[in-house]
Amino acid sequence: MNIKENIKTLVIKKPLKLDCGKTINNFPLAYETYGSLNKNKDNAILVFHALTGDQFVTGINPVTKKDGWWSYAVGPNKSIDTNKYFVICANVIGGCMGSFGPSHKNPDTNKIYGTDFPVITINDMVNAQVNLLDHFEIKKLFSVVGGSMGGMQVLQFISNYPDKANTVVPIACTSNHSAQNIAFNELGRQAIASDHNWSDGKYLYNNTLPDKGLSVARMAAHITYLSKKGLQEKFGRKLQERDALKFGFDADFQIESYLRYQGSVFVDRFDANSYLYITRAMDYFDLVKQFDGNLSNAFKKTKAKFFIISFTSDWLYPTQENKDIVIALNAIGADVGFVEIKSDKGHDSFLLDVPDFLKTLKNFLDKSYSER
Amino acid sequence: MKTEYKIIVDLIEEKTRVLDVGCDDGTLMESLKKDKNVDARGIEISKDKVQICVSKGLTVIEGNAELDLKQFPNDSFDYVVLGQTLQAFVNPEIVIKELLRVGKKAIITIPNFGHWKVRLNLLIKGTMPITESLPNDWYNTPNIHMCTIKDFVKFSKIINFKIFKSLALTNKNISNITNSNLFYKNLFAELGIFLIEK
């Protein structure tokens, strides 16, 4: 069965001028929806996915056959209650789950783009996705929600379209990528590029995938999503299916085996060039610079209600970076709430079963919805 | 609702912008919204309390008044409320100045350390007073800068702010504090409530 059968796609006819200067049109935007749009069309939530996410937010992902990436938070009676809200999520452009990306063919040359695909930005991603509002004839979303890179899209979205959402929930994110974040992304990109099979991005012609490089990229990144304490408690120095060290380079430790597994399953579902493009988009994200050094100006035009959430053990997008957004909003008297959730699960906390987080998100959305 | 909150609600005019510093579980903010149609914001240091506020639909940021007031521009609120926490700050002077920078007016309530029970407690027992409103031992109390109603009035002259209205709460009865009754109020009031300005 062709997996594409399970992917809903909107072809965006309207030309989109990208930040890199190129213009794209007639490009596909793959999306999924959950719940149903009410008569007034005022119960829609646009969810933005993170680096390796996709449009299959919850339920079983029809392509990977695994649970959707935000199954803990999205679904009937969950934080983002699909009995109540109409949830839309699109695969970002540059991605590999059906939206216009580097594994697509260039219509001009009939060749797969590879690294000839234009460099895209977070701004380009949200400018592509805003077309979904027209498609569903939604004038104003009830909320825009996302964690990590999804949170960056949330911030960019409300900055670009200040009257298109009532509530704004950026989670575990930042207004610009720190040197440390860029460094980790570069490590991932270099791991891919140094895999011989990558072939300057033309691997789809050779039928040899840069699996090794992509899996190392994923392993390195995965560490940054966890916390030292979380890792220590889960794995410590436990050995992997053996009683003693083997004095070799097999995966002696459980943590090694775990990371190798994470790397190996990732390559089955993700495209190496998409990884390059999306990490680049994150690195280029700098909402502060877009507004000449004053983040407050990004939010001056909106009356939306913000709620910002960070996690104590998140060292990739630490509380202070989330708080900088709160500070910028308070500086202009915006309606902003903020909470740092206690969790040992690191940056990944927003994706996991962290009851305080899930409860707080639900409370914020449901209360705001009933008071709208 | 606590009498203290009722008094604060009465002091605040309708449809104003209010920041509740140390807003606890949001009880005061709720009544301000309901009774006075106020645009209420809160700062609260406890994560659990912030989560309770969120569940009530209140706009609250998790934070510490000593660190987080500085993010608000001058005069961004009509009133800033600080309920029974002035004594817990490292530097009450800076906090009061920040309250009056951020707010056009501030409402500060202080548990009165000059109350006769407190005085008697120290006099008779010779140990640090423990009362209903001051239940902690000296070694685990968050209250590091206790003051009396008289101290607070004196402080207004030292660091130069105006006391617009001063009220005493004694056995759930509210009365005005004046220059002439200051001695008695300082002896009998459990709580002082002050509306202040720059």
> Any idea what the CATH number is for the domain that residue B102 is in?
3.40.50.150
Q: Which domains does chain A have, with CATH numbers?
A: 3-177+286-371 (3.40.50.1820), 182-279 (1.10.1740.110)
Q: Mean pLDDT throughout A125-144?
A: 98
Which of B34, B59, B77 to probe by mutation at the A interface, max A CB count within 10 Å? B59
CB contact under 8 A, B59 and A336: yes
Nearest to B55 among A332, A340, A363 (CB): A363
Quote the Cα angle for A221-A80-A177, to 5°.
30
Structural domain tally of chain B? 1
Residues in chain B with CB shorter than 8 Å from the CB of A330 are 61, 71-72, 76
Phi and psi at residue A352, to the nearest 5°: -105, 180
CB contact under 8 A, A360 and B61: no
Band (pLDDT 50/70/90 cuts) for residue B82 is very high
Catalytic machinery residues of A? 148, 314, 347
- Predicted confidence at residue A4, as pLDDT, reads 63
Q: Both tokens of residue B96?
A: 């009061």
In this predicted complex, what is the ipTM? 0.91
Q: Both tokens of residue B91?
A: 């530097």
Q: Mean pLDDT throughout A75-88?
A: 98
C-alpha pair distances (Å), A324 with each of A57, A278, A321, B50: 28, 24, 5, 18
Band (pLDDT 50/70/90 cuts) for residue A207 is confident
Using the predicted structure, report yes or no on whether residue A1 has a pLDDT greater than 60.
Answer: no
The CA radius of gyration of chain A, in Å to the nearest whole number, is 20
**What pairs with residue A8 in β-bridges?**
A31
The whole-angstrom separation of Cα B142 and Cα B148 is: 17
Range list of H helices, A285-354: 287-290, 319-330
The whole-angstrom separation of Cα A61 and Cα A66 is: 5
pLDDT in tens, A186-199: 999 999 999 999 99
Q: Which residue of A has its CA nearest to B102?
A: A331
Nearest to A50 by CA among A261, A224, A263: A224
Q: Which residue of A has its CA nearest to B57?
A: A367
**What pairs with residue A87 in β-bridges?**
A34, A45
Distance from the Cα of B57 to chain A's closest Cα (Å) equals 5
Nearest to A133 by CA among A215, A66, A46: A46
Confidence (pTM): 0.95
Angle between helices B3-11 and B27-36 (to 10 degrees): 40
Which of A307, A330, A343, A367 to probe by mutation at the B interface, max B CB count within 10 Å? A330
CB contact under 8 A, B54 and A340: no
On whether the CB atoms of residues A56 and A71 are closer than 8 A, the answer is no
CB pairs under 8 A between A and B: 58
pLDDT in tens, A239-291: 999 999 999 999 999 999 999 999 999 999 999 999 999 999 999 999 999 99
- Predicted confidence at residue A102, as pLDDT, reads 97
Residue with tokens 């407690």: B121
Residues in chain A with CB shorter than 8 Å from the CB of B17 are 333
- Predicted confidence at residue A372, as pLDDT, reads 84
- Predicted confidence at residue A148, as pLDDT, reads 98
- Predicted confidence at residue B134, as pLDDT, reads 81
Residue B80 near chain A (CB below 8 Å): no
Q: Which residue of B has its CA nearest to A310?
A: B62
Angle between helices A179-193 and A272-284 (to 10 degrees): 160
- Predicted confidence at residue A3, as pLDDT, reads 58
- Predicted confidence at residue B133, as pLDDT, reads 76
CB contact under 8 A, B62 and A338: yes
Residue B101 lies in domain: 3-197
Band (pLDDT 50/70/90 cuts) for residue B131 is confident
